[in-house]
Chain A
Amino acid sequence: MCGIISVIDRLGNSMDGEAIKKALSLMDERGSGEGAGYAVYGAYPDFADYYALHVFYDNLVEPKVAVEELLEKWGKIEHSEEIPTYSSGRMLKKHIPWRYFFKPDTSLFANSESQEEDIIISLIIKINTMINGALVYSSGKNIGVFKASGWPEEVADFYRIQDYEGYLWLAHNRYPTNTSGWWGGAHPFNLLDWSVIHNGEITSYGTNKRYLESFGYKCTMLTDTEVVAYLADLLGRRHELPPEMMVKALAPPFWDEIDEMPEKDRNLYTAMRMAYGPAMMNGPFAIVVARPDYIAGFTDRIKLRPMVAAEAEDRLYISSEEAAIRVMEPNLENIWMPDAGEPVIGRLRR
């Protein structure tokens, strides 16, 4: 069990975090108070050209010095500050969230189609695997992830999530089942443009992790959902698959369904399953993947987790429960329960 909700304003109009906090809190029973988080796109308009690196520090001495030394070696820190937090009740600052607005120096890195992104990914892997007491958990331009161990409303109040604004939000309430709850294990998971929220479990984690490692990714967050963010980065960014095809690679049709397709589709889906066999995800899941121009929601192929979608004017909502969407928008025009494995995609039109 877990609770998910996301919204995109397809015209790019901003929403503050108040409504999604209330919507996520409606699904408190879907969590256990051990992890909640929010991702907002459009969070840092003043630094829109810089990578917003959010880091959890265990202390501000060794890990912070090491991280800043590395960042300064590889580019320019335009601005650096502690992320404001407001401790109360149960919420203790078990890690110190810090943010950097950073631009990498591309002249220092081997040439590729995506030099900046490649530098950022290599820096994140270095920090998360080699610097004790530092964890980069958010790294997109104009994107911010805010997460911790706690109930949805506690985590929202801890970061004052209502003070942030953006045109696309993801929110997640965690019920950890297979690994323990900790700040880094809370959702959303983010890498560059990509953020992921997930209800369920990825039982194919081992296969997916080995596949990702062959492309240079390193899993450091001690939980299964991490692979979804990296798979989205690999398939969506590096292989440039459109969201419909990315979903069909991650949750492909069954072979007996492929056998019944017209020849063109049959060839396509056979090729997809062969090319992306190790990227296929098994187990129960309802997932929303976001990047700056869309959100894509989908479930596993036999739909072992709930997912509801709804529209109201320019906004598309995807959630575990209809009532949560109604907390954000009581007047919905269209509500539906998407079929297993069928993507629901909300694209930015601007």
Chain B
Amino acid sequence: MEPVTIDAKNLHYTPLNIRIRELIAEGKKKIILNNICGQRFIGNGIRGGDVEITVNGVPGGDLGMFMCGPTIIVHGNCDHAPGNTMDSGKIVIHGSAGDATAHSMRGGEVFVKCDIGYRGGIHMKEYSEKRPVLVVGGKAGSFSGEYMAGGLLIILGINREAPVKGKGIGSGIHGGKIIIRGDIDEKLLGIGAKKEQLTEDDRKDLEKYLKEYCRLFDYDYIELSESVYTKIVPASARPFAGKYCWE
């Protein structure tokens, strides 16, 4: 099926999103958005596992929020919270993303080729077969995986001095896991987070997403697979027990 192209130059996000929904309702599977500059909420709440949207430009915040199934490929940087509370589907960002990337994500995958801002993966969660995954190729800012309740956050630090620029990794984490390439200084961990060795299962879990990162962004898998990784998990299910109330 021929892709449908929308020129989004000077187009507000409301008519843009209405048009995207109309096209999906008409059965269109491939949509290309050109000249995107700052339009928020692109693809919010859209459904359909076989729908693919290509975004050429720099979208505004909350790309793919509540999305259920489709794939969004961005050729440019993203603003805050791409993948916010996403249910399922995939977001591939050929660039960097802003603060709170994959905010409260509950399923699906977000792959970022380069860096993310602060609080990436904040409050990701999982339930039953739903398990969100955020893979960051470059570096992440402070408080990555803050209040994480589930899911998997992978930070690779490719071509960066360190994978994490900042501190408070996994601050308040009480579910899920964070895997970071290289060793991580204990003092960078947030309250409630602890370091552990990767198990065989963790390694298998990781390899699957490393392969996908390399496929999407044409990167050398051998280099990534031969690296050392650190796992960060909750120290307890209730990191703040006793902090705000007593029992």
Contact = CB atoms under 8 A, between A and B. Distances in A.
A199 to B, nearest CB: 12
17 contacts: A29-B60, A302-B142, A303-B117, A303-B118, A306-B79, A306-B98, A306-B99, A306-B117, A321-B60, A322-B79, A323-B38, A323-B58, A323-B59, A323-B60, A327-B38, A340-B141, A340-B142
Contacts of B131: none
Contact of A340 (B38, B60, B96, B118): B118
A138 to B, nearest CB: 29
Nearest to A254: B167
A26 interface: yes
A312 to B, nearest CB: 15
B98 A337 contact: yes
A321 B38 contact: yes
B181 interface: no
B103 interface: no
A337 B38 CA distance: 16
Contacts, number: 54
Interface in A283-334: 302-303, 306, 308, 321-324, 326-327
A18 to B, nearest CB: 14
Contacts of B143: 302
B80 interface: yes
B58 A303 contact: no
A157 interface: no
Contacts of A327: 37-38
B79 A323 contact: yes
A323 B142 contact: no
A32 to B, nearest CB: 15
Contacts of A323: 37-38, 58-60, 79
Interface of B: 37-38, 40, 58-61, 77, 79-80, 96, 98-99, 115, 117-118, 141-143, 165-166, 168
B166 A326 contact: no
A26 B38 contact: yes
A26 B8 CA distance: 14
A324 B141 CA distance: 22
A320 B215 CA distance: 33
Given A302-B143, A306-B80, A321-B79, A340 B166 contact: yes
A339 interface: yes
A327 B58 CA distance: 11
Contacts of A322: 58, 77, 79, 98
A245 interface: no
A26 B77 CA distance: 16
A337 B117 contact: yes
Contacts of B61: 321
A337 B79 CA distance: 11
A335 interface: yes
A324 B38 contact: yes
Contacts of B168: 302
A26 B117 CA distance: 21
Q: 9 tightest A-B contacts by CB?
A: A323-B38, A26-B38, A303-B118, A323-B58, A323-B37, A337-B117, A322-B58, A306-B99, A321-B79
Contacts of A324: 38
Contacts of B38: 26-27, 321, 323-324, 326-327
A303 B79 contact: no
Contacts of B60: 29, 321, 323
The interface centre, meaning the residue of B37, B59, B115 with most chain A CB atoms within 10 A of its CB, is B37
The interface centre, meaning the residue of A27, A29, A322, A324 with most chain B CB atoms within 10 A of its CB, is A322
A264 to B, nearest CB: 22
A142 to B, nearest CB: 32
A326 B40 contact: no
Contact of B77 (A306, A335, A340): A335
B77 A339 contact: no
Contacts of A335: 77
B99 A339 contact: no
B99 A29 contact: no
Interface in A105-138: none
Nearest to A327: B37
B168 to A, nearest CB: 8
Nearest to B100: A306
Given A303-B99, A323-B60, A337-B117, A29 B40 contact: yes
A321 B96 CA distance: 13
A132 B117 CA distance: 46
Given A306-B98, A323-B37, A339 B166 contact: yes
The interface centre, meaning the residue of B38, B80, B99, B165 with most chain A CB atoms within 10 A of its CB, is B38
A340 B40 CA distance: 24
A307 to B, nearest CB: 10
Nearest to B96: A337
Contacts of A321: 38, 60-61, 79
A302 B168 CA distance: 10
Contacts of B141: 303, 337, 339-340
Nearest to A308: B98
Nearest to B38: A323
A29 B60 CA distance: 11
Given A306-B80, A306-B117, A26 B142 contact: no
